[in-house]
Chain A
Amino acid sequence: AQSVTQLGSHVSVSEGALVLLRCNYSSSVPPYLFWYVQYPNQGLQLLLKYTTGATLVKGINGFEAEFKKSETSFHLTKPSAHMSDAAEYFCAVRPAGTALIFGKGTTLSVSS
């Protein structure tokens, strides 16, 4: 069965510091991979997605992620954190023809 593991349920960074949120997946075939962000009492907003092609994917709000097949990883990064980045982040995998499978989420805190 396909699954997604997000390492660290809570990550804290200082404003201006690098953001790194980790995601590993298990899949027997190359999957579609996604990162979503959720602000309190809101739905999930798509940050970026990997389907095929370039393994470094750029998303909204300065985030990017790199698909590494050899490591079965799809970590999310941002060079410089902003206070407005504080939210919960979900990694998801979509096996062919099925619904998204989500990780448990990582809460990002940003301090000034």
Chain B
Amino acid sequence: ETGVTQTPRHLVMGMTNKKSLKCEQHLGHNAMYWYKQSAKKPLELMFVYSLEERVENNSVPSRFSPECPNSSHLFLHLHTLQPEDSALYLCASSQEGAAFFGQGTRLTVV
């Protein structure tokens, strides 16, 4: 139990579907992140939220849309994805220093 919970753990979606990934942290942290982990590629930082405001967006395609309604919750809304978007999506939170990660959502786009 890391204090960061991601749902669902696995998701299969078609290219025309709309789905959302959810992340919840119970650590009282003020920053939350989305990372993408693809096979044989480094971890890619997608979005950073600090105090519920987006502070970083690393050239992520608009088919990925983050939402941070409060300091404990972070969503990643997905629509019209491509097969190359299949990956493990990791959520993390931090206050100072280390980030704590959820278990990830394994996304497969068919």
Residues in chain A within 8 A of chain B (CB atoms): 32, 34, 36, 41-46, 49, 51, 90, 94, 98-105
Decide yes or no whether B77 CB sits under 8 A from chain A: no
Asked if A102 and B43 make an inter-chain contact with CB atoms under 8 angstroms apart, the answer reads: yes
Of A43, A49, A100, the most chain B CB neighbours within 10 A belong to: A43
A-B contact pairs, 6 of them (CB 8 A): A41-B104, A43-B103, A45-B2, A45-B101, A99-B33, A105-B43
Count chain B residues whose beta carbon lies closer than 8 angstroms to a beta carbon of A. Answer: 23
Q: Identify which of residues 75-110 in chain B touch chain A, using a CB-to-CB cut-off of 8 Å.
A: 88, 90, 92, 94, 97-104, 106
A105 to B88, CA, bound (A): 15
Q: Which residues of A contact B94 (CB under 8 A)?
A: 100
Using CB atoms, name the residue of chain A closest to B33.
Answer: A99
Asked if B106 and A41 make an inter-chain contact with CB atoms under 8 angstroms apart, the answer reads: yes
What's the nearest-Cβ distance from chain A to residue B99, in Å? 5
A51 to B2, CA, bound (A): 21
Q: Provided the pairs A41-B106, A43-B90, A45-B2 are in contact, do residues A102 and B101 lie with their beta carbons within 8 angstroms?
A: no
Using CB atoms, name the residue of chain B closest to A44.
Answer: B101
A37 to B65, CA, bound (A): 28
Using CB atoms, name the residue of chain B closest to A90.
Answer: B43
Asked if B48 and A42 make an inter-chain contact with CB atoms under 8 angstroms apart, the answer reads: no
